[in-house]
Amino acid sequence: MLVEALPYIHELRGRTIVVKYGGSAIAGGDPAGTLASFATDVVLLRAVGVRPVVVHGGGPQIGELMGRLGKVPEFRDGLRVTDAETLEIARMVLVGKVNRELVTAINAHGHLAIGLSGEDAGLLTASPRHPELGFVGDVGSVDADLLRRLVAEDLVPVVATIGSDGQGQAYNINADTAAGALAAALGAHKLVYLTDVEGIRSERDDPSSLLSRLDPDGLDRLVVAGAVAGGMVPKAAACVQAVRAGVGAAHVIDGRSEHALLLELLSDEGVGTMVSLR
């Protein structure tokens, strides 16, 4: 495996990769074991000269806390309706819980990770998606200078996707969309989504139809045909937009599998779906 990994290490050394670690991947199976495996992968990549930036979601964890507080989640077109109370819950979970867990897991291997929110240093400027959704935001702009400075210092930024507008109002931003925007702004070599499915399928409900490679046009066609649906749609859109904006390749893999990130990036076969122009 090490011999097989060598050319991929040479390719990735000194390059930035953006890894979106989904809340569904964190919550599924053995959360502690999955998180530890992911953290080890990130640290190993950093040790061989790769510059990882981690972006995370936390939808299941937000829903769990809402339930404990007696608040019923409401969704429209797959997006959580976010009133002021729900926004505060989302900030608590994303910034105060999930972000800290990821930073702690990575830092178990050394003082490597630093936790951030999209609100920090104007990293993610947000605009409201739709009045009916409340404080759900779209990415208006990205100021990636802080991330560039951190990765240049060999640190691993871990970003919670809460952004704010010019008046300081916070918004919850879809983490898939935010990861794609950050990858494009950084000129990342790779954008990787770790989620709770093994990749993109040509037939929505048929695991045997997993596609190992796609181009952006092919992925657009799958979305139009309905083969890609639900929570996979924003991932697909972000993959397409990032690749067309210059990101070398986008990957969708099952983050619950042990060391999935290393296997996808450092082996001939990979374990998920890669979207690229070539």
SS (H, E, C) the chain: CHHHHHHHHHHHCCCEEEEEECHHHHHCCCHHHHHHHHHHHHHHHHHCCCEEEEEECCHHHHHHHHHHCCCCCCEECCEECECHHHHHHHHHHHHHHHHHHHHHHHHCCCCCEEEEECCHHHCEEEEECCHHHECEEEEEEECCHHHHHHHHCCCEEEEECEEECCCCCEEEECHHHHHHHHHHHHCCCEEEEEECCCCCECCCCCHHHECCEECHHHHHHHHHHCCCCCCHHHHHHHHHHHHHCCCCEEEEEECCCCCHHHHHHCCCCCCCEEECCC
Lowest mean pLDDT among 39-43, 50-54, 178-182, 194-198: 194-198
Q: Give dist(CA 222, CA 204) in Å, integer.
A: 9
pLDDT tens, position by position, 21-78: 986 666 655 667 789 999 999 999 999 999 999 999 898 899 999 999 999 989 887 7
Q: Give dist(CA 142, CA 21) in Å, integer.
A: 19
The pLDDT of residue 205 is 86
Question: pLDDT at residue 150 above 60?
Answer: yes
The pLDDT of residue 26 is 66
Q: Where are the domains of the chain?
A: 2-275
The pLDDT of residue 258 is 87
Fold observed for domain 2-275: Carbamate kinase (3.40.1160)
The pLDDT of residue 27 is 60
Give 210's pLDDT tier (boundaries 50, 70, 90): very high
Query: What's this model's pTM, rounded to 2 decimal places?
Result: 0.93
